[in-house]
Amino acid sequence: MSTVDKMLIKGIRSFDPENKNVVTFFRPLTLIVGANGAGKTTIIECLKVSCTGELPPNARSGHSFIHDPKVAGETETKAQIKLRFKTAAGKDVVCIRSFQLTQKASKMEYKAIESVLQTINPHTGEKVCLSYRCADMDREIPALMGVSKAILENVIFVHQDESNWPLQDPSTLKKKFDDIFSATRYTKALEVIKKLHKDQAQEIKTFKLKLENLQTLKDAAYKLRESIAQDQERTESSKVQMLELETSVQKVDAEVHNKEMMLKDLRKLQDQVSIKTAERSTLFKEQQRQYAALPEENEDTIEELKEWKSKFEERLALLGTKIRKMEREMVDTETTISSLHNAKTNYMLEISKLQTEAEAHMLLKNERDSTIQNIFFHYNLGNVPSTPFSTEVVLNLTNRIKSRLGELEMDLLDKKKSNETALSTAWDCYMDANDRWKSIEAQKRAKDEIKMGISKRIEEKEIERDSFEFEISTVDVKQTDEREKQVQVELERKTKQNSERGFESKIEQKQHEIYSLEHKIKTLNRERDVMAGDAEDRVKLSLKKTEQENLKKK
């Protein structure tokens, strides 16, 4: 429990700003006694200001709370309230609040200078001072005392001018009771729960949209990966084909070169053959000319000439076979050259196709790089190296996208779990409220049944009244008057007899007792009516208490 030990007052209202006035509070009770204007109320006001920071009523924004500088003959008055108290944990704390009131040319200016909390370090025993703003100080001191600000302001240190606040209008009274019993916390908690439920639902919607977007991105990434794998396979196969084609082209070029060399040799041989034929024709002509120019015939024998002829024919046959052989080789080389030219054109077509496929592959790679850059830029996944990307870089980036997607999925699962727990708690609250509503409805139905019973009884009483009135109407009034006169005569006679016997005092006493009993019956009936009127309020109060206990348990 928190207790107040001492308080120093300086420069507050009638307390001198030059002297320190110390008030000690004794246990278990301290009585403050003094004449009017001695400062009894000022002590309570100083306690309230030091604990809550709220100025007393009619303080004119602090101008009338601080000692007037005109009375002191100064242009500036400084005031201070120093309060030493024990916290709820039993620690000694000193609260210091300083104020200043300055007389300007046309007005006075009030200012709160500083707010300090002074504690003692339990390890070293040294004093530790902490400066706070006024708003922070107003929250810190009630927390240290373990009492709310509303209780300090309206119950413990309530000002005598504000002590009649229970008689104020219902809205102000409800607000003060809510502040004292901290009922607004529960309503705020319910509002916060509703707001959280709404925010969580909105977040679930956004995360669902993000999940759908990420799912599409994931599908696109899988498609890109498949296309990348297919493109890599195509590139590898095309590289292999290009290597094979290059080797085949090199072989064909070598064969073409060999065939061209052979063609050159054949052309040279053909030129030599044509030269030799021309030489032969010239030699044959020269031989004819020389033979014609011979003075005489050759004297060689026929055998020698035949031998020369056979040798010459053999030589001609050899030359003819060589010529035919060269012609066959020439035809073969031409056919091989044509086939090689055809193969070369086919290979050139395949190379052009492969080049177009390579260009399409490069376009796909550029599209892949641009999509990866857009994904990284749109979702802030980090820096991206410059294009074009290698296969290792692409695999690394896709792995980063996968890891980011996994993190988002884990966050989504965590959010789902938290939302499920929040929904379960909200559902429990809803079920409790539904149960309370059902109980209230049952009570309402019971009250309606009671009300119907009362209305039925009223109707029965009205019927009885009507029957009595009918009976009264049927009664003969004259006979009743005569009977009344006879009764009055009898009463007078009896009263005379009783007066003679001395019973008048007893009759008066009994009449007084009857009157007092009737008065008590009337008061009891009024109390019964008040209790019946307050029954509904008591039911509501019990329901509020049960709700408060349930909320405390939660």
Evaluate whether residue 10 is within a structural domain: yes
Evaluate whether residue 149 is within a structural domain: yes
How many residues can be counted in the chain? 554
Helix (H, G, I), strand (E, B) or coil at 97: strand
The pTM for the full model equals: 0.35
Evaluate whether residue 42 is within a structural domain: yes
Q: Which residues of 410-447 are buried (b: 16+ CB within 10 A; e: fewer)?
A: eebeeeeeebeebeeebeebeeeeeeeeeeeeeeeeee
Between CA 107 and CA 27 the distance in angstroms is 44
pLDDT (tens digit, 0 to 9) for every residue of the chain, 554 residues total? 788 889 999 988 888 888 888 999 988 888 989 888 888 888 888 988 888 888 888 777 888 888 888 887 788 888 999 999 888 888 888 988 898 888 887 788 888 887 888 888 777 777 877 777 766 777 888 888 888 777 777 777 787 777 777 787 888 777 777 777 765 666 777 788 888 888 888 988 888 888 888 888 888 888 888 888 888 888 888 888 888 888 888 888 888 888 888 888 888 888 888 888 888 888 888 778 777 766 655 566 778 778 888 888 888 888 888 888 888 888 888 888 888 888 888 888 888 888 888 888 888 888 888 887 888 777 777 777 777 777 787 788 788 888 888 888 888 888 888 888 888 888 888 888 888 888 788 888 888 888 888 878 888 888 877 777 676 666 555 666 677 777 777 777 776 766 655 556 666 777 777 777 878 888 777 777 777 666 667 767 777 788 888 888 87
Q: Please, what is the Cα angle at 427 between 424 and 431, to 5 degrees?
A: 140
Hey, what amino acid is at 450? I
Evaluate whether residue 443 is within a structural domain: no
> Do β-strands 76-86 and 108-120 pair in parallel, antiparallel, or remain unpaired?
unpaired
Evaluate whether residue 81 is within a structural domain: yes
Evaluate whether residue 60 is within a structural domain: yes
Between CA 265 and CA 325 the distance in angstroms is 13
Range of the domain at 41: 3-168
Number of compact structural domains in the chain = 1
Evaluate whether residue 157 is within a structural domain: yes
Helix (H, G, I), strand (E, B) or coil at 7: strand
269 CB neighbour count, 10 Å cutoff: 16
Evaluate whether residue 72 is within a structural domain: yes
CB 391 within 8 A of CB 232: yes
Inter-CA distances, 211 with 216, 317, 380, 415, 419, Å = 8, 94, 16, 12, 16
Between CA 98 and CA 82 the distance in angstroms is 9
Q: What is the CATH number of the domain that holds 61?
A: 3.40.50.300
CA 16 centroid distance within chain:
57
